[in-house]
């Protein structure tokens, strides 16, 4: 991949709003501002990508409805849900179909930002399994995951512990427990449980992706990329591949020498796998915003801003409370010279932060501080 360097223009940059190539180059102090802005924004977005909820794994039991499982494996949740429900209508004691349906419900709640509705459906379905088999480890794990997406972390861990007690080799439950800590900013405990999962199953893709996220946040780019390469080479689930590519792009941007060209390639591949991940659209907009610094004419700038706003609109259509999308929109408006629009977008970002379920407490404060620093 080609190394691509540069920084996005900041509100205070001397980079001209009209993009006149004859305008003076940024001063050293303004370039310092650009660098700080890029780092702060990257840290804020790190929270965004960290809090993308991972796919709940497919159940380990044999599923009587292979067509539903095939749809699940390909990332077609709606079809998997429909076919699983049909299988259960024929046999309401089909544990495999019940587990697959509960899993698909939980994942649907996560990716559609409709956690409470689908999370409760997942819990109710998993409880039907426990009524048949009270010692089903996978049912407890799914109940834990459903509570996790509803941000009931203590309840989630209680159920993960039940799953692990029934099956100490349930690597997925171990990884999920680590992720519940991750979502609360407890990276130390998160990594402990990820490592426990990988000690049992070194090929557990969910634990691998979780681990890669931790490594990325710690700045261990090469180790993170090695894991992501493995996932992208061997994975089958399109949603899972989309999230792996998204994280790949994040790592490339946050290397010592940022690779924006490689990151854009990874994000486009991510969107080709699954266009329903709002954070991928935000990342694409951020990359395009950065690339405006090399544009030479007003027409090129105007076209770029249209592309940026189009990507952000797609993100907000999926998740209307995507605070980072509003923030990037404010940056694009400033570059376009529309200060009023920029101020409105910044305020929308601040208003969205409390409702943005893709951000943890620390990331919310980081993003709020970043935005407020430009308001003053």
**pLDDT of amino acid 289:** 95
**Would 28-52+277-375 and 66-239 be classified into the same CATH topology?**
yes
Percent of the chain surpassing pLDDT 90: 56
Residue 31 has pLDDT above 80, yes or no: no
pLDDT tier at 65 (50, 70, 90 boundaries)? low
DSSP code at position 336 = T
Indicate the pLDDT class of residue 206, thresholds 50, 70 and 90: confident
Which residues neighbour 335 within 8 Å (Cβ) at sequence distance 6 or greater? 9, 15, 17, 289, 292, 301, 305
Could you please report the per-residue DSSP string of 74-112? HT-HHHHHHHHHHHHHH-TT-HHHHHHHHHHHHHHHHHT
Over the stretch 232-249, which tens digit does the pLDDT of each residue have?
A: 998 877 888 998 999 999
pLDDT, tens digit (0-9, with 9 covering 90-100), for 310-330: 999 999 998 898 999 999 999
What is the pLDDT of the chain when averaged over all its residues? Answer: 82
**10 pLDDT above the threshold of 60:** no
Pick 346 or 376 by higher pLDDT: 346
Minimum mean pLDDT among 73-77, 103-107, 369-373: which range? 73-77
- Sorting pLDDT into bands at 50, 70 and 90, what band is 49? very low
- pTM assigned to the model: 0.74
Q: Which long-range contacts (CB under 8 A, 24 or more apart) does 300-307 make?
A: 300/19, 301/19, 301/335, 301/336, 302/336, 305/332, 305/335, 305/336
Q: How confident is the model over 188-215, as a mean pLDDT?
A: 93
Please give the pLDDT value at position 335.
92
Query: What pLDDT band is residue 256 in, cutting at 50, 70 and 90?
Result: confident
Helix 278-291 / helix 323-335 crossing angle, nearest 10 deg: 20
The pair of structure tokens assigned to 339 is 């200060």
Domain formed by 28-52+277-375, architecture: Alpha Horseshoe (1.25)
pLDDT at 78: 86
Do residues 5 and 258 make contact, with C-beta atoms less than 8 angstroms apart? yes
What's the alpha-carbon Rg for the chain, to the nearest Å? Answer: 22
From the number of C-beta atoms within 10 Å of its C-beta (0-12, 13-18, 19+), residue 1 rates as: exposed
Strand, helix or coil at 259? strand
In this prediction, residue 32 has a pLDDT band, given cuts at 50, 70 and 90, of very low
- 14 vs 316, higher pLDDT: 316
| Average pLDDT of the residues in 94-119 | 88
66-239: CATH number: 1.25.40.10
Residue ranges per structural domain of the chain: 28-52+277-375, 66-239
Alpha helix (H) residue ranges in the chain: 28-50, 66-74, 77-90, 95-111, 115-132, 137-149, 153-166, 171-183, 187-200, 205-217, 221-234, 238-253, 260-273, 278-291, 298-318, 323-335, 339-352, 361-375
Checking 101-106 for CB contacts under 8 A at 24+ apart, the result is 101/68, 101/125, 102/126, 102/129, 102/139, 102/142, 102/146, 103/56, 103/57, 103/58, 103/59, 103/72, 103/142, 104/72, 104/77, 104/80, 105/81, 105/146, 106/56, 106/142, 106/145, 106/146, 106/149
pLDDT of residue 107: 86
């Amino acid at each position: 991949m080609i190394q691509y360097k540069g920084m996005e223009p900041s509100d205070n940059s001397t980079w001209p709003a009209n993009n006149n190539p004859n305008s003076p180059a940024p001063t050293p102090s303004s370039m310092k501002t650009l660098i700080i802005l890029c780092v702060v924004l990257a840290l804020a977005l790190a929270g965004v990508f960290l809090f993308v909820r991972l796919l709940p794994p497919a159940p380990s039991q044999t599923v009587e409805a292979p067509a539903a499982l095939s749809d699940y494996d390909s990332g077609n949740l709606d079809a998997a849900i429909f076919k699983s429900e049909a299988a259960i209508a024929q046999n309401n004691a089909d544990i495999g179909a019940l587990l697959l349906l509960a899993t698909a419900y939980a994942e649907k709640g996560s990716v559609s930002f409709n956690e409470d509705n689908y999370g409760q459906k997942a819990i109710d379905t998993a409880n039907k399994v426990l009524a048949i088999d009270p010692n089903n480890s996978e049912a407890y794990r799914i109940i834990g995951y459903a509570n996790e997406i509803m941000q009931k972390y203590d309840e989630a861990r209680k159920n993960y512990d039940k799953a692990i007690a029934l099956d100490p080799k349930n690597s997925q439950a171990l990884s999920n427990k680590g992720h519940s800590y991750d979502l609360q900013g407890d990276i130390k405990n998160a990594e402990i449980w990820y490592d426990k999962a990988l000690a049992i199953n070194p090929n557990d893709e969910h634990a691998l992706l979780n681990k890669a996220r931790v490594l990325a946040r710690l700045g261990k780019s090469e180790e993170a990329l090695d894991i992501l390469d493995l996932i992208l080479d061997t994975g089958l689930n399109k949603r899972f591949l989309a999230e792996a590519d998204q994280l790949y792009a994040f790592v490339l941007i946050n290397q010592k020498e940022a690779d924006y060209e490689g990151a854009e390639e990874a994000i486009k591949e991510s969107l080709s796998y699954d266009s329903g991940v709002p954070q991928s659209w935000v990342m694409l907009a951020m990359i395009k915003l950065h690339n405006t610094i090399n544009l030479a004419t007003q027409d090129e700038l105007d076209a770029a801003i249209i592309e940026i706003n189009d990507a952000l609109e797609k993100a907000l259509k999926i998740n209307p409370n995507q605070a980072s999308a509003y923030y990037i929109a404010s940056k694009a408006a400033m570059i376009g010279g529309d200060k009023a629009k920029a101020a409105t977008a910044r305020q929308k970002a601040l208003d969205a932060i409390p409702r943005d379920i893709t951000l943890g407490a620390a990331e919310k404060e980081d993003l709020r501080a970043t935005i407020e620093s430009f308001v003053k």
